[in-house]
Amino acid sequence: MDFVRSEPRTTLMALKILIAGGFGAGKTTMVGAVSEIPPLRTEEQLTEVGSAVDDASGVEAKTTTTVAIDFGRITFDNRLALYLFGTPGQDRFWFFWDDIAQGALGAVVVADTRRLEDCFPAVDYFERREIPFVIAVNCFPGSRRYRVEQVATALDLDPGTPVVLCDARQRTSAKEVLIALVERVRRGQQW
């Protein structure tokens, strides 16, 4: 083509990390705390066949749900971009998770100790697909503090899965969580 422009100068490599957890656990807060750009939102429209419980005619209802994904980016040396995707927590979005999780470096499961059961689906998902992950216990002000061992037992984690206490609003704290995850990934890889 005669209007092709010059080759782009920088070669970027991209990696992604998923930030999962229950509704309101602090996923987007954590993304925003470490992202170098204000978190962006992308949406996906999913068409799903409804359960039709309210439908007397027996015609299955088809509904469209919009799933919003908030994400951020950290660029190192203008060469390596790390993307953080806050993934919706509900079980019914699994097929959507498969799309985002494909090729992910690993995942952070943000846990709220007041609703620890909310992160069971995410823990199950990552264990089943052998995606390395860490649990980041978001210590909300006023919530009871638990020891990491207690959280690990309550979630029935595999022994190698790190549990980190954090404050998702704090950049340094969110950064420590990501470091714990990348170290976990390194331990799991055979070089």
d(Cα 85, Cα 32) in Å, to the nearest integer? 11
End-to-end CA distance of the chain: 42
- The binder of another protein chosen from 58, 103, 159, 160 (CB under 8 A): 103
Tokens of 60: 């299955």
Phi, psi of 114 (to 5 degrees): -75, -20
* Phi, psi (degrees; rounded to nearest 5) at 134: -125, 155
Q: List own/partner pairs for 146-152 with CB under 8 A and 24 or more apart.
A: 146/113, 151/111, 151/113, 151/116
Closer residue to another protein, CB minimum distance, 100 or 134? 100
Distance of alpha carbon 142 from alpha carbon 83, whole angstroms: 31
Q: Is 183 in the site for another protein (CB under 8 A)?
A: yes
Q: How far is the CB of 6 from another protein (least distance, A)?
A: 9
According to CB under 8 A, which one of 53, 57, 77, 128 is a site residue for another protein? 77
- The answer to the question of residue 16 lying near another protein (CB under 8 A) is yes
Nearer CB in complex with another protein: 8/160: 8
Q: Does 94 bind another protein (CB under 8 A)?
A: no
39-68: contacts with another protein (CB under 8 A): 40-45
Give the strands of the sheet with 133-138, arranged side by side: 40-49, 62-76, 80-86, 13-21, 106-111, 133-138, 163-166
- Check the CA dihedral 127-141-16-71 and report its sign: positive
Instruction: Kindly state the smallest distance separating residue 63's Cβ from another protein, in Å.
Output: 15
Q: For the CB of residue 126, give the shortest distance to another protein in the complex, in Å.
A: 14
Instruction: Determine which residue in the list 24, 65, 74, 140 makes contact with another protein, applying CB under 8 A.
Output: 74
Instruction: Give the total of residues touching another protein (CB under 8 A).
Output: 47
Contacts with another protein by CB under 8 A lie at 1, 3-5, 8, 10-16, 34, 40-45, 69, 71, 73-74, 76-77, 80-83, 85, 99-100, 102-106, 171, 175, 178-179, 182-183, 185-186, 189, 191
